[in-house]
């Protein structure tokens, strides 16, 4: 993982110290292989960014109630109720991610939600979810992000203190999103959701997304243009991409690339 992969518009608002910590967390996420390791990383992120809560989850769209969850700072009583009542089926944050949003405000999404209410025996309802969320103080400030790929979903939800003007949390989590989701799915799902590209292949894909040609990429990476073409071809094969445009599209859809 090269630092250049994480130095983009999302990190321009961070100070030098925060950028270094961002790089360190990115490297850590790339190497995580256990649930406890991911939980420790979330604890570290929550403390560093002064977040009230951070929760990540992944699963398949067809079986959302069976999604796997790891969090730091969350209310265990609320989480037990959320899972028991299958609130994931009517949670406006989850529905927004499923419907294509990638980075959003928690409070804004909930306030503007017009989702259809589910009814019937043992089915959760939006009204019941909102009532329970109010009772547990869940309708506060924060943000969330997620990606849907190959029928699976990976998401991150963050709660912050009311009125916080600090933008480090959104900036950092936006930059860490690809690494976080890869770690999440690698640790919690038996089969990979994301294309298995090497670090160099991902770097070349990012350069392609920025409009650079093979010669420009070769100059930037201090390698030959023929080596770039070899890595590019291998990356396209892993992605199942027909051409550059298709590869970049898959990169954004999978969360490997950031908008």
pLDDT of residue 195: 58
* SS3 (DSSP) at 138: coil
pLDDT one-digit tens code per residue, 129-159:
888 988 888 877 889 998 887 678 889 999 9
Alpha carbons 175 and 13: distance in angstroms, whole number:
12
User: How confident is the model over 88-98, as pLDDT tens digits?
Assistant: 988 989 988 88
Judge whether residue 122 has pLDDT over 60: no
Question: Residue 5: which pLDDT band, with cuts at 50, 70 and 90?
Answer: very low
Among residues 224, 184, 177, 174, the alpha carbon closest in space to that of 200 is found at: 224
User: Which pLDDT score, from 0 to 100, does residue 16 have?
Assistant: 85
Token couple for 188? 């919690």
Tokens of 233: 């071809």
Angle, alpha carbons 104-108-114 (nearest 5°)? 100
Relative orientation angle of helices 168-188 and 35-49, to the nearest 10 degrees: 170
210 DSSP 8-state letter: T
When comparing pLDDT for 160 and 199, which is higher? 160
User: Strand pairing of 142-149 and 152-159?
Assistant: antiparallel
Those residues whose C-beta lies under 8 Å from the C-beta of residue 42, and which sit 6 or more positions away, are 54, 56, 70, 71, 72
- Across the range 107-127, mean pLDDT stands at 61
- Of the pLDDT bands very low, low, confident and very high (cuts 50, 70, 90), residue 8 is low
Q: Quick check: 194 pLDDT over 80? A: no
Residue 222 tokens read as: 């201090």
Given a cut of 70, is residue 11 above it in pLDDT?
no
Q: Which residue has the tokens 């991150």?
A: 156
Task: Compute how many other C-beta atoms are within 10 angstroms of the C-beta atom of residue 243.
Answer: 9
Q: Cα–Cα distance between 69 and 154 in angstroms, integer?
A: 10
The CA distances from residue 16 to 25, 37, 45, 170, 249, in Å, are: 14, 26, 17, 17, 31
Q: What is the pLDDT of residue 222?
A: 87
Distance, CA of 257 to CA of 96 (rounded, Å): 20
Distances (CA, A) of 41 to 10, 183, 195: 20, 11, 23
Of 135, 143, 182, 146, give the one whose Cα is nearest residue 164: 143
CA distance 6 to 257: 10
Q: Cα–Cα distances in Å, from 7 out to 18, 181, 195?
A: 12, 18, 22
User: pLDDT tens for residues 27-36?
Assistant: 899 888 899 9
């Amino acid at each position: 993982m090269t630092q250049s992969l994480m130095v983009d518009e999302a990190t321009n608002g961070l100070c030098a110290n925060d950028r270094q910590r961002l790089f360190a967390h990115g490297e850590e996420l790339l190497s995580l292989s256990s649930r406890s390791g991911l939980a420790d990383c979330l604890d570290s992120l929550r403390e560093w960014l002064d977040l009230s809560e951070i929760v990540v989850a992944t699963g398949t769209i067809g079986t959302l109630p069976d999604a796997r969850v790891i969090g730091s700072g969350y209310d265990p009583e609320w989480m037990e109720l959320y899972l028991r009542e299958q609130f994931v089926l009517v949670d406006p944050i989850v529905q927004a991610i499923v419907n294509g949003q990638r980075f959003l405000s928690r409070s804004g999404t909930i306030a503007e939600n017009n989702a259809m209410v589910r009814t019937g025996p043992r089915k959760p309802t939006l009204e019941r979810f909102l009532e329970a969320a109010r009772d547990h103080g869940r309708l506060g400030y924060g943000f969330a992000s997620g990606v849907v790929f190959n029928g699976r979903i990976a998401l991150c939800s963050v709660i912050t203190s009311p009125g916080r003007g600090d933008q480090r949390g959104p900036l950092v989590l936006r930059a860490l999103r690809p690494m976080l989701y890869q770690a999440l799915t690698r640790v919690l799902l038996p089969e990979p959701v994301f294309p298995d590209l090497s670090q160099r292949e991902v770097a070349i894909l990012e350069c392609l997304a920025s409009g650079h040609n093979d010669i420009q990429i070769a100059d930037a990476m201090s390698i030959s243009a023929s080596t770039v073409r070899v890595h590019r071809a291998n990356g396209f094969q892993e992605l199942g991409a027909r051409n550059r445009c298709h590869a970049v599209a898959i990169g954004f859809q999978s969360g490997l690339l950031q908008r």
